[in-house]
Amino acid sequence: MTILLVGYGKMGRAIEQIALERGHQIVGRIDLSNRADMDALADDAVDVVIEFSSPESAVDNLRYCISRGWAVVCGTTGWLAHRTEIEQAVREQGSAFFYASNYSIGVNLFFRLNKVLAKFMHNYPGYQVSMTEVHHTEKKDAPSGTAITLAEGLLENLPQKTRWAVSEADKPADGDTADAVVIDSVREGNVPGTHIVRFESEVDRIEIAHVAHSRQGFALGAVTAAEWLAGRQGVFGMDDLLGDS
2 is in an annotated binding site: no
Task: Provide the H-helix boundaries in 80-144.
Answer: 83-93, 105-121
The region that residue 105 occupies, defined by phi over 0 for left and psi between -120 and 50 for alpha, beta otherwise, is alpha
- Could you tell me which residues are beta bridge partners of residue 166? 183
Rounded to whole angstroms, the Cα distance separating 61 from 71 reads: 12
Report whether 145 belongs to an annotated binding site: yes
Residues 6+ apart with CB under 8 A from 157: 115, 118, 119, 122
> Which is catalytic among the residues 82, 115, 135, 140?
135
234 in a known ligand binding site:
no
135 flagged as catalytic: yes
List 10, 115, 122, 139, catalytic entry: 139
53 marked as part of a ligand binding site: no
Residue 9 known to bind ligand? no
75 assigned binding-site residue: yes
Q: Is 103 left (phi over 0), alpha (psi -120 to 50) or beta?
A: alpha
Residue 103, marked binder: yes
Q: Which residues contact 211 (CB under 8 A, 6 or more apart)?
A: 193, 194
- Detail the residues annotated as belonging to a binding site for NADP(+): 35
Q: Which residues are known to be catalytic?
A: 135, 139
- Detail the residues annotated as belonging to a binding site for NAD(+): 75-77, 100-103
- Detail the residues annotated as belonging to a binding site: 35, 75-77, 100-103, 136, 145-146
